[in-house]
């Protein structure tokens, strides 16, 4: 018989649950109880998946496309992904360099497990997306945080990167546009970072999941496109969750050097096998849709960004940098007190769900997702402003 206390695998035992998922679930639960919650926690578009994409999935079911596919995804889907990379990112990937997984989260997880090992370091710019450090811990590697601040628009610099490289450094995780800050690296900034990576032989995961959601430019630079040497060190991650409002379908993908992707393939063979066949058909449809299907949603996100930032402009106690991409506003609330407590109180007192910056390695901040209607943004910001008024005069 198992003796107590239960001994958990030492890597899993250190993992912290996902606060983004937990708070989103809590907000949904309160809503289902009839409480009028404004949900600024959810990191997912609120739009329905476009009808043509849903229709493709229904056709897949009706046509009996309901069996295992190759573990890495169907050849048709990988060809469509290769075409997307070429069209949008000037990147040449062959289908054999591409692995489709159960969401970009799964893609990133796989790559970290394949590349990062005990005794090796992974460089992680902070603020970071909640799941990165946990994935690194699960691989048994060490996390080396590169802190950033509003001063550098929450972006690392090449010299900061250089100074933090040791003989154990294996991998850098880049996310542009960023969750949670919404910051976008320029081509020039990426070139300087790429130079350091090439010089030191550092692999890079370029998480480009918010690529299609940028608001002030149509220039997006994919890290791997910066040259042959960078290409050979980069694994590019993207997916359909955010661009096509398909979070529940669970399709993400990664492309990189064939040898690395071969190990990702093996890992996936023995864990999930292929992502759902039906979702793959939906993703294929999405990638073959005209760009207009994305543009409409992006334009609406831009209007929401402008609305939420103008509301916060009227609250002098908090500051922010206008997000250039993604759908998050990252606010400095340090003048008001401890961010975890503020996030909790805003939910308890005025039923507005936000995520404390602590989960992103940035205490003193809160993250607000503006992937909700303009009407809810108006209501939520009104409640927050009132809450702050009451609490900052006490
Ligand atoms: N990367 C970042 C930065 C994200 O915010 C998300 C959203 N959860 C993901 C990856 C994963 O997206 P998904 O698994 O839904 O494709
Ligand atoms: N990426 C989203 C977020 O940060 C969804 C939740 C998650 O997967 O963490 O809120």
Per residue, the 3-state secondary structure of the chain, as one string, reads CCCCCCCCCHHHHCCCCCHHHHHHHHHHHHHHCCCCCEECCCCCCCCCCCHHHHHHHHHHHHCCCCCCCCCCCCHHHHHHHHHHHHHHHCCCCCHHHEEEECCHHHHHHHHHHHHCCCCCEEEEEECCCCHHHHHHHHHCCEEEEEECCHHHCCCCCHHHHHHCCCCCEEEEEEECCCCCCCCCCCHHHHHHHHHHHHHHCCEEEEECCCCCCECCCCCCCCHHHHCHHHHHHEEEEEECCCCCCCHHHCCEEEECCHHHHHHHHHHHHCCCCCCCHHHHHHHHHHHHCCCHHHHHHHHHHHHHHHHHHHHHHCCCCCEECCCCECCEEEEECHHHCCHHHHHHHHHHHHCEECEEHHHHCCCCEEEEECCCCHHHHHHHHHHHHHHHHHHHCC
Alpha-carbon span 45 to 212, nearest angstrom: 13
Question: Ligand 2 mean position to 64 CA, how many Å?
Answer: 32
Query: How deeply is 307 buried, as exposed, middle or buried, from its count of CB atoms within 10 A (0-12, 13-18, 19+)?
Result: middle
- The strand order across the sheet containing 169-175 reads 98-101, 252-255, 234-239, 203-207, 169-175, 121-126, 142-147
Among protein residues, the one whose CA lies closest to atom 1 of ligand 2: 43
Residue 24 CB less than 6 A away from ligand 1: no
Alpha-carbon span 72 to 266, nearest angstrom: 9
Residue 20 CB less than 6 A away from ligand 2: yes
Do residues 232 and 279 touch, judged by C-beta distance below 8 A?
Answer: no
Q: 10 Å Cβ neighbour count for 68?
A: 8
Which distant-in-sequence residues (6+ apart) come within 8 Å of 376 by Cβ? 38, 39
Ligand located closest to 252 CA: 1
What are the structure tokens assigned to 35, written together? 């409480």
Residue 18 CB less than 6 A away from ligand 2: yes
**Ligand 2 pocket mutation, candidates 25, 106, 178, 179, criterion most atoms within 8 A of CB:** 179
Residue 252 CB less than 6 A away from ligand 2: no
Q: Map out the domains of the chain with their CATH numbers.
A: 10-49+292-392 (3.90.1150.10), 63-287 (3.40.640.10)
What are the structure tokens assigned to 195, written together? 């130079």
Ligand located closest to 239 CA: 1
Q: Name the stretches of the chain with pLDDT < 50.
A: none
Half-sphere exposure of 185 (CA within 13 A, CB side): 24
- In ligand 2, which atom is closest to the CA atom of 41? 10
What is the reported pLDDT for 282? 98
Among protein residues, the one whose CA lies closest to atom 12 of ligand 1: 104
Alpha-carbon span 321 to 300, nearest angstrom: 20
Residue 160 CB less than 6 A away from ligand 2: no
Which tens digit of pLDDT belongs to each residue from 276-335?
999 999 999 999 999 999 999 999 999 999 999 999 999 999 999 999 999 999 999 999
Alpha-carbon span 245 to 35, nearest angstrom: 25
What are the structure tokens assigned to 313, written together? 């402009």
What is the reported pLDDT for 99? 98
Residue 135 CB less than 6 A away from ligand 2: no
What are the structure tokens assigned to 340, written together? 């975890």
Which distant-in-sequence residues (6+ apart) come within 8 Å of 368 by Cβ? 40, 308, 328, 329, 331, 354, 380
Residue 378 CB less than 6 A away from ligand 2: no
Do residues 11 and 341 touch, judged by C-beta distance below 8 A?
Answer: no
Look at residues 226, 214, 249, 254 and name the one whose alpha carbon lies nearest to residue 100: 254
What is the reported pLDDT for 23? 87
Question: 145: which strand partners?
Answer: 124
Residue 245 CB less than 6 A away from ligand 1: no
Do residues 130 and 359 touch, judged by C-beta distance below 8 A?
Answer: yes
Residue 180 CB less than 6 A away from ligand 1: no
- Crossing angle of helices 258-269 and 104-115, in 10° steps, is 110
CA 358 to the chain's CA centroid: 17
Cα separation of the two ends of the chain: 58
Give this prediction's pTM. 0.96
Q: 10 Å Cβ neighbour count for 105?
A: 20
Residue 239 CB less than 6 A away from ligand 1: yes
Alpha-carbon span 349 to 100, nearest angstrom: 43
What is the reported pLDDT for 394? 52
């Amino acid at each position: 018989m198992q003796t107590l206390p239960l001994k958990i695998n030492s890597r899993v035992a250190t993992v912290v649950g996902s606060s983004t998922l937990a708070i989103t679930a809590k907000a949904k639960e309160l809503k289902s109880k009839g409480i009028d919650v404004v949900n600024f926690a959810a990191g997912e578009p609120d739009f329905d998946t476009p009808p043509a994409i849903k229709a493709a999935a229904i056709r897949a079911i009706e046509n009996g496309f309901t069996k295992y596919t190759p573990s890495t995804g169907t050849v048709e889907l990988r060809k469509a992904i290769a075409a997307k990379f070429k069209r949008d990112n000037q990147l040449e990937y062959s289908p054999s360099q591409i692995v489709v997984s159960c969401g970009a989260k799964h893609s990133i997880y796989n790559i970290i497990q394949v590349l990062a090992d005990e005794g090796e370091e992974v460089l992680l710019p902070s603020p970071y997306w909640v799941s990165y450090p946990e994935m690194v811990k699960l691989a048994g590697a060490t996390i080396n945080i590169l802190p950033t601040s509003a001063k550098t628009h929450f972006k690392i610099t090449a010299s900061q990167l250089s100074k933090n490289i040791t003989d154990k450094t294996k991998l850098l995780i880049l996310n542009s546009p960023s969750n949670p800050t919404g910051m976008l690296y320029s081509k020039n900034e990426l070139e300087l970072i790429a130079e350091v990576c090439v010089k030191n032989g550092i692999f890079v995961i370029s998480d480009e999941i918010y690529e299609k959601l940028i608001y002030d430019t149509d220039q997006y630079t994919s890290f791997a496109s910066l040259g042959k040497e960078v290409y050979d060190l980069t694994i590019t991650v993207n997916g359909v969750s955010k661009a096509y409002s398909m979070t529940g379908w669970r399709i993400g993908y990664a492309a990189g050097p064939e040898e690395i992707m071969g190990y990702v393939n093996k890992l996936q063979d023995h864990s999930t096998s292929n992502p759902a066949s039906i979702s793959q058909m939906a993703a294929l449809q999405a990638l073959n849709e005209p760009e207009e299907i994305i543009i409409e949603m992006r334009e609406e996100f831009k209007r929401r960004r402008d609305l939420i930032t103008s509301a916060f402009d009227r609250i002098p106690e908090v500051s922010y940098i206008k997000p250039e991409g993604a759908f998050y506003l990252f606010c400095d609330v340090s003048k008001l007190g401890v961010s975890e407590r503020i996030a909790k109180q805003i939910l308890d007192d005025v039923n507005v769900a936000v995520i404390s910056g602590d989960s992103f390695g940035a205490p003193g901040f809160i993250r607000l997702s503006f992937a909700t209607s303009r009407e809810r943004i108006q209501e939520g910001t009104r409640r927050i402003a009132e809450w702050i008024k009451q609490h900052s005069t006490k």
